[in-house]
Amino acid sequence: MDIVVLAGGLSTERDVSFKTGGMVTRALRKNGHRVILLDVFMGYQEQEEDISDIFAHSLKASASEGGITDTAPDLAKVKAARKDTSNCFFGPNVIAMCKMADIVFLALHGEDGENGKVQATFDLFGIRYTGTGYLGSAIAMDKGLSKFFFQKQGIPVPNGIKMEKSARIDQFEKTGLQLPCVVKPCCGGSSIGVSIVRTAEEYTQALDEAFCLEDAVIIEDYVEGREFSVGVIAGEALPVIEIAPLEGFYDYRNKYKAGSAVETCPADIPSEVSERMQGYAVAAAQALGLDTYSRMDFIMDRAGGIVCLEANTLPGMTATSLLPQEAQAVGMDFSALCEKVIQISLQKYGGQD
């Protein structure tokens, strides 16, 4: 098949997206496909105007993968580097090349990549893509809204509130919550802008940081305990994986720097606990209307209580990502996982290949 792996964009997770995209590209080429790694924002800006046979030159046409730094990318520099100086999310030739592909593998992370806008655009253009559709993506991206759906289905979540920037509450005692708490952007990912707050002064600083990224934040009771994640593919849960950061919590640095966390799959927990968490993961995917594949994050407190933190509709596919490790635990290597995602995605379009 001719496949575009779409990555990059203008998300704070841009670098992570390229790492996912690079690994997926190599895996799909190993499987025999003609694959172009394409930056959704930069597009394809080479001299030749005729792209009708672009997949015959897929290696040359592909973007560079890059690496993941300890901090989020400077998006102002990214915007300034685009040759046509346009602010359009889709760069030159992106839509045309995606329409030419048999399917687009969405390797985007954060904001416009996961909030349903790209999916809705592709639906209108008749472009086939991997992952869930626009509505489930939009609901899952909003942590406040997804928590509402989880609660309706009896899935436990941390106690908390959603706060708009226009109605900011600077006095913590007026939030109705207790310290310590967690402050995080409502629609962000990769733990960018997330703070664990233990004092009133830290609360104000955390609001400043989170509101620099978005106009809405989530403030929740801090649940101290063990961190887990569960992938769901085609309605079935994968084995539970436990994540134990060597320092601090599972923040941006610990997620993507090799050796920063100990990840155990299957997790060393009683089978009853594992099955309960897997059940919550499947129920969460169903509650949000997520198809194809997704991943749910959990915390288990010291008393054994489980809460679901959020859903990920385009889980990371990097060397340190959780979903590939879970798939490996059931005998599915990375190349097979990428192929599985494509095949179950194609089924939504009548199974054409």
**pLDDT, tens digit, for every residue of 42-72?**
999 765 567 989 999 999 999 987 666 666 6
d(CA 218, CA 234): 30
Q: What are phi and psi of 232, to 5 degrees?
A: -130, 120
Query: Is residue 98 within 8 Å of 39, Cβ to Cβ?
Result: no
At residue 13, what are phi and psi to the nearest 5 degrees?
-100, 25
Integer angstrom CA distances of residue 333 from 52, 318, 325, 329: 34, 13, 9, 9
Q: Express each pLDDT in 304-350 by its tens digit.
A: 999 999 999 999 998 778 999 999 999 999 999 999 999 999 999 98
**The predicted structure's pLDDT at residue 113:** 87
Q: Do 322 and 316 contact (CB within 8 A), yes or no?
A: yes
Q: Which fold has domain 2-129?
A: Rossmann fold (3.40.50)
Residue ranges per domain, the chain? 2-129, 140-156+224-338, 160-221
Q: What is the DSSP string of 16-60?
A: HHHHHHHHHHHHHHHTT-EEEEEETTT----S----TTGGGGHHH
pLDDT tens-digit series, residues 3-43: 999 999 888 788 889 999 999 999 999 999 999 999 999 99
Q: Which CATH superfamily is domain 140-156+224-338 in?
A: ATP-grasp fold, B domain (3.30.470.20)
On the question of pLDDT at 190 being above 60, the answer is no
Q: What is the pTM of this model?
A: 0.89
Q: Which CATH number fits domain 160-221: 2.40.128.20, 1.10.3720.10, 3.30.1490.20, 3.40.50.300?
A: 3.30.1490.20
Looking at residue 247, what is its pLDDT? 65
Helix (H) or strand (E) holding 67: none
254-309 pLDDT tens trace? 444 556 789 999 999 999 999 999 999 999 999 999 999 999 999 999 999 999 99
